Amino acid sequence: MSPLTINKIPHHVFLAHKDFSTELLDELSAVVQQLDRLVIAKPQPSIWAQDVWRDVVEIKFESISQAIQALRALGKNWIFFPHKFYRRANLIQEGLQTVAVNRIPFPNLKPIQPFGCWTLHDANTILASTNTQKNVPLGAYEFIENKQIPPNRAYLKLWEVFTSLNFFPDKKSLCLDLGASPGGWTWVLQSLGCRVIAVDKAELDPKIGRLANVTAVKQSAFALDARHHEPVNWLFSDVICYPQKLYTFVSRWIEFGKCQNFVCTIKLQGKTDNAMLKKFLDIPNSQILHLYHNKHEVTWVRRVAQ
Q: What is the mean pLDDT of residues 156-163?
A: 97
pLDDT digits (tens, 9 = 90+) for 65-99: 999 999 999 999 999 999 889 999 999 999 999 98
Across 158-183, average pLDDT? 95
Beta bridge partners of 265: 299
**pLDDT at res. 290:** 97
pLDDT of residue 234: 98
pLDDT digits (tens, 9 = 90+) for 173-231: 999 999 999 999 999 999 999 999 999 999 999 999 999 999 999 999 999 999 999 99
What span, in angstroms and rounded, lies between the C-alpha atoms of 163 and 245? 28
pLDDT at 1: 58
pLDDT of residue 278: 96
**Least confident residue range of 102-106, 201-205, 245-249, 297-301:** 102-106
Average pLDDT over residues 16-43: 96
Residue 14's pLDDT band (cuts 50, 70, 90): very high
pLDDT band at 111 (very low <50, low <70, confident <90, very high): low
What confidence category does residue 35 fall into, taking pLDDT thresholds of 50, 70 and 90? Answer: very high
Q: pLDDT band at 306, cuts 50/70/90?
A: low
Give residue 152's identity as a one-letter amino acid code. Answer: N
Q: Are 160 and 297 in contact (CB under 8 A)?
A: no
Tell me the pLDDT tens digit for each residue of 120-142.
999 999 999 999 999 899 999 99
| DSSP assignment letter at 77 | B
Q: How far apart are CA 176 and CA 215, in angstroms?
A: 10
Per-residue model confidence (pLDDT) at position 120: 97
Fill in the DSSP letter of residue 135.
Answer: S
Cross-strand partners of 197:
176, 215
Kindly report the pTM of this predicted structure. Answer: 0.93
Rounded Cα distance between 20 and 88, Å, is 28
Q: Catalogue all structural domains in the chain, each as residue range(s) with its CATH number.
A: 5-139 (3.30.2130), 155-302 (3.40.50.150)
